[in-house]
A and B are shown apart, each in its own frame.
Chain A
Amino acid sequence: MRIAPQPGERIDRRKPFTFEYDGAKITGFEGDTIGSALYAAGRRVFSRSFKYHRPRGLLCCSGDCPNCMMTVDGVPNVRLCVEPVRDGAVVRAQNVLGSLERDLLSVVDRLGGPFTPVGFYYRTMIRPRRLWPVYERFLRNVAGLGRVGGADGHARRYDTEHRRAEVLVIGGGGAGRQAAAAAAAEGRQVVLVDERGGVTAGGPYEVLAPARALGIYEGGLVPVDAGDVLYRFRAERIVVATGAIEQPLVFPGNDLVGVMLPNGVRRLASEWSIKPGEHAAIVSVDDNGLEVAEDLRRAGTEVARVVDLRAERPVHLAAVGRRGRLSRLVVDGEAVDCDLLVMSGGRQPAYSLLAQSGARVEYDPQRGIFVPTDLPPGVEAVGSAAGELGPAAVPAASFDGGRNRGRSFVCVCEDVTEKDLKRALAEGFDSIELAKRYTTVTMGPCQGRLCHVSSIRLLARETETDEAAIGTTTARPPWSPVELGLLAGRHYEAAKRTPLHFRHVEAGATMMWTGQWRRPFDYGDSEAEVRAVHESLGVIDVSTLGKILVEGPDAPELLERLYPNRFADLAAGRIRYGVLTTDGGRIMDDGTIARLGDELYYVTTTSTGSESVCEWFEWWNAVWGYDVEIVNVTGALAAVNLAGPRAREALAGLTDADVSNDAFRYLDAKEISVAGIPCLGLRIGFVGELGYELHCPASAGEHLWDALVALGAVPFGLEPQRVLRLEKAHIIVGQDTDSESNLLSAGMPWIVKLEKEDFVGKWAVEHLQERGVRERLVGFTMDVLPPEGAQVVRDGRPVGRVTSARVSERVGRVIGLAWVGPDRAEEGAAISIRVDGADHPATVTLTPFYDPQGELLRS
């Protein structure tokens, strides 16, 4: 029911909007919120409370309380009092079984009194133990607020945008607008963030509204919730003008439908021109509450009784209702019939954002408010948030209802009553932080806006101390409820693709993740791919290998100190295998190092190691300061490994260079032109057959690949590569080694040159040598395929584990690598490996399973 236009009216009656509420069509006007339109349509019950399912009506009309939360267009917990009306919106009540008017779960309120005190669940639902699944199902059903549908999370799009502001003003009230205008006048770039959208744009500063600042983080970071977009502001100066929050009073029946805070009533009557009620009473500690009388009279509501708590000190105060709706106020035995009760417990500075940013909060006993002090640099407070508030009396912590014994709510979000807090105290939870965690007071959707001060005041009275001694709880973001989808933003998963990626896709490869890389698992037939390499010619994309140039006069010395083996004596044009370890002795990466010139080395790393190895080199060199350039050229180059008995013949067909075994020896590095492309050719034993690795400009990779495939090279994927490398007993760092693995235990003592004065990891090896290793990595053969991680057992007890195992057609058995006790690390030693609960015999091998002397590689 709308009344005649009021002086402060904010609606445009010419622009109607219609939405659906529980099946009915409701019409509001531009400027209305869904909440105000429902109130105008006569709705009074807006929610059911969290625990007792008591009917609740509009309380603050400012977005501060949980009383009007409903599900709008599938999004739960929308505060209707600040949600603008829009055509076609579908609004549904939540947290009810039945309807808001008749909620079956309200039985908890009627019967639950003795069964639902604070801590009830903790103590009761733990026994008998076997009933827990039943309790759990029940509790999960009734717990929580609102429901998120399974697919709803992806129905909306949320974006994130980074913004900068010289001055960011939070709050669009008078003080905020004034601060924004003043900063703009000084020539600053100013952005003002306002929750309500009442500030008009187009002035000397930018206005972002409706939008909510969620917190103040380090570095002037302020995330701002603007609905579909999260703005991450970096601000040089932050001005907090969040105003003050009207506080309720604690008395029996203070949650009845019809009990409201002053500003809620003021907005209903003056901004939206709705008659808030027929007969009203006011109980207030300040002028803010009393002034509502004027708005009410203008709206045609009779003000039946005004209790100014500065002048009157009633002993008993209670609101009495029928079916959850207010019907009268009782003050010291005097009853006043009313359907609206305006309560004002004073206003508290909304200091939460300031406290998050690091400010202290101090209690002012004269004014009964908490005031922020000691603001960190770059953060300011203005207006009510800074404590600039009119005079008010300090309200009693709670009022006794006398003969009226309704519940006195301290926290309407979580249904925490005065009695609950007293009980928590009696049980020893006497600090505010403990009482908070035990009773959940301040932990609901309002995040303490309406209950923080009340609970502190109550604790102070009950412990016979004062508010300053009780102190406040820690303020943490988010300051306003926020949708998780907005915090998550868009889902992007960085994928690295090699220059040959689309050739693999076109060839029907099964792609898999290896770290961030997308790589072919195989092209459909792993066994055939292995066979092709052994019998004819295979080609694999190894562009993922890390590739680092180390160049400069000190390059040999740097590598000598980073690697356990020698690189200063490596001849130009030759290649040597290298393993990197840490000073703790851990194996961190391996690869080949080719010397391309006196001062130039080409280092390859594992596929996942390119960045970490480059960092590692640069880190040490930040300490040592050698005259070298360390250049990560991983992405600059495509790389393929051409392997198989036909490899030389194929390469010869694509290059003018002499690739005979005398001119291009095993472990030679040569710059050659292949298929018209400049390549670095590395003749190495990547798999067990004759092979050449060709590294060329990434953009020419497809051309090279196509030329090799045209010559009959069969593409092979990672899985066949695993088999081929395992046949040579090549370790995979990170697969066969872990944080405990070192050069001695992994069976590479030959690589360590202890005669060098220093290298990273030298001392660890020396100490290991003295103490001996606890485990050894060995090869094994057996007849069944154990899963990776299978146990090596002795006398029924685990004494080791399998790290790699594959069926090798070529070897004719299952081959693998395993960690075993040092006493088992002998050629031919018998071990047992547990597969599917049964122990199977396996035989230890210390040489490669295939071509142990490496004759094929050298041929």
Chain B
Amino acid sequence: MFLLACPHCGPRSVDEFKYQGEVTRRPPERPTLRELTDYVYFRDNVAGVQREWWYHGTGCGLWFVAERDTRTNEVLRTEIPEPSRGRTPAPVEAAVPDTPAV
């Protein structure tokens, strides 16, 4: 139950948030099957600082990105990511992967 600072609401207990995994990179153009599989299913799973998505679901409903040390749960910073403004064919960073339900 570490504290996570929502960019809107400030520090809140982490149970107000939904964790949505590492920030990954959506392929900019049609990927090969291997590239698609990498993007959809594989994660770096670092023991260290990781950029990751959080959703303040039981709160203001904001999606934001946190930099968290996965070893200590220390959150170094949180930010509202700069969107790609939609026009570009695909975002350079910060795309949404899918992990199928188990």
Chain A interfacial positions (CB closer than 8 Å to B): 217-221, 234, 358, 554, 557-558, 582-584, 586, 611, 615-616, 618-626, 738-740, 757-758, 760, 763-764, 766-767, 771
CA separation between A763 and B1, bound complex, in Å? 38
Name the contact of B63 in the complex, choosing from A234, A358, A618 (C-beta under 8 A): A618
Q: What 7 pairs between A and B have smallest CB-CB spacing?
A: A625-B83, A582-B98, A739-B100, A218-B2, A622-B63, A219-B3, A584-B40
Q: Given A584-B40, A757-B89, check contact A624 B83 (CB 8 Å).
A: yes
B26 touches A583 (CB 8 A): yes
A624 touches B86 (CB 8 A): yes
- Chain A nearest CB: distance from B41 CB in Å? 7
Name the contact of A624 in the complex, choosing from B36, B64, B91 (C-beta under 8 A): B91
Say if the beta carbon of B70 comes within 8 Å of chain A.
no
- Most B CB contacts (10 A, CB to CB) among A558, A623, A767 go to A623
Q: Which residues of A contact B73 (CB under 8 A)?
A: 218
Say if the beta carbon of B47 comes within 8 Å of chain A.
no
Name the contact of B85 in the complex, choosing from A558, A625, A771 (C-beta under 8 A): A625
A221 touches B1 (CB 8 A): yes
Name the contact of A586 in the complex, choosing from B1, B14, B91, B98 (C-beta under 8 A): B98
A561 to chain B: closest residue by CB: B86
Can you list 17 residue pairs at the A/B interface with Cβ under 8 Å?
Answer: A221-B13, A582-B40, A583-B26, A583-B96, A584-B99, A586-B98, A615-B55, A615-B57, A618-B63, A619-B63, A622-B64, A623-B95, A624-B83, A739-B102, A764-B36, A767-B33, A767-B36
- Chain B nearest CB: distance from A618 CB in Å? 6
B3 touches A619 (CB 8 A): no
A763 touches B84 (CB 8 A): no
Q: Which residues of B contact A771 (CB under 8 A)?
A: 33
B2 touches A619 (CB 8 A): no
Say if the beta carbon of B90 comes within 8 Å of chain A.
yes
B57 to chain A: closest residue by CB: A615
> 1/0 contact trace for B57-74 toward A, CB 8 Å?
100010110000000110
CA separation between A771 and B41, bound complex, in Å? 19
CA separation between A738 and B100, bound complex, in Å? 9
Which residues in window 4-57 of B have CB below 8 A to A?
A: 11, 13-14, 18, 20, 26-27, 30-31, 33, 36, 39-41, 53, 55, 57
A626 touches B86 (CB 8 A): yes
Q: Which residues of B contact A757 (CB under 8 A)?
A: 89
Q: Given A218-B73, A219-B3, check contact A619 B53 (CB 8 Å).
A: yes
Name the contact of A584 in the complex, choosing from B18, B53, B81, B100 (C-beta under 8 A): B100
Name the contact of B101 in the complex, choosing from A620, A622, A739, A764 (C-beta under 8 A): A739
- Chain A nearest CB: distance from B65 CB in Å? 9
B interface SS class: loop
CA separation between A764 and B72, bound complex, in Å? 36
Q: A620-B96, A625-B84, A771-B33 are in contact. List 15 more A-B contacts (CB 8 A).
A: A218-B2, A220-B3, A234-B13, A584-B41, A584-B99, A622-B80, A622-B94, A623-B91, A624-B85, A625-B82, A625-B83, A625-B86, A738-B101, A740-B100, A763-B27
CA separation between A584 and B36, bound complex, in Å? 8
Q: Which residues of B contact A760 (CB under 8 A)?
A: 96
Q: Given A219-B13, A618-B63, A766-B30, check contact A623 B84 (CB 8 Å).
A: yes
CA separation between A558 and B39, bound complex, in Å? 22
A586 touches B96 (CB 8 A): no
CA separation between A622 and B14, bound complex, in Å? 20
- Chain B nearest CB: distance from A424 CB in Å? 31
CA separation between A625 and B97, bound complex, in Å? 17
B26 to chain A: closest residue by CB: A583
CA separation between A779 and B18, bound complex, in Å? 37
B57 touches A621 (CB 8 A): no
- Most A CB contacts (10 A, CB to CB) among B64, B90, B100 go to B100
- Chain A nearest CB: distance from B75 CB in Å? 10
Q: Which residues of B contact A624 (CB under 8 A)?
A: 83-86, 91
CA separation between A507 and B1, bound complex, in Å? 44
Q: Which residues of B contact A584 (CB under 8 A)?
A: 40-41, 98-100
Name the contact of A763 in the complex, choosing from B30, B63, B64 (C-beta under 8 A): B30
Q: Which residues of A contact B64 (CB under 8 A)?
A: 622
CA separation between A619 and B20, bound complex, in Å? 10
CA separation between A621 and B86, bound complex, in Å? 8
- Chain A nearest CB: distance from B54 CB in Å? 11
CA separation between A219 and B3, bound complex, in Å? 5
A622 touches B33 (CB 8 A): no
B1 touches A217 (CB 8 A): yes
Q: Which residues of B contact A739 (CB under 8 A)?
A: 100-102
B1 touches A557 (CB 8 A): no
Q: Which residues of B contact A217 (CB under 8 A)?
A: 1
- Most B CB contacts (10 A, CB to CB) among A234, A763, A766, A771 go to A763
A622 touches B81 (CB 8 A): yes
A218 touches B85 (CB 8 A): no
A622 touches B1 (CB 8 A): no
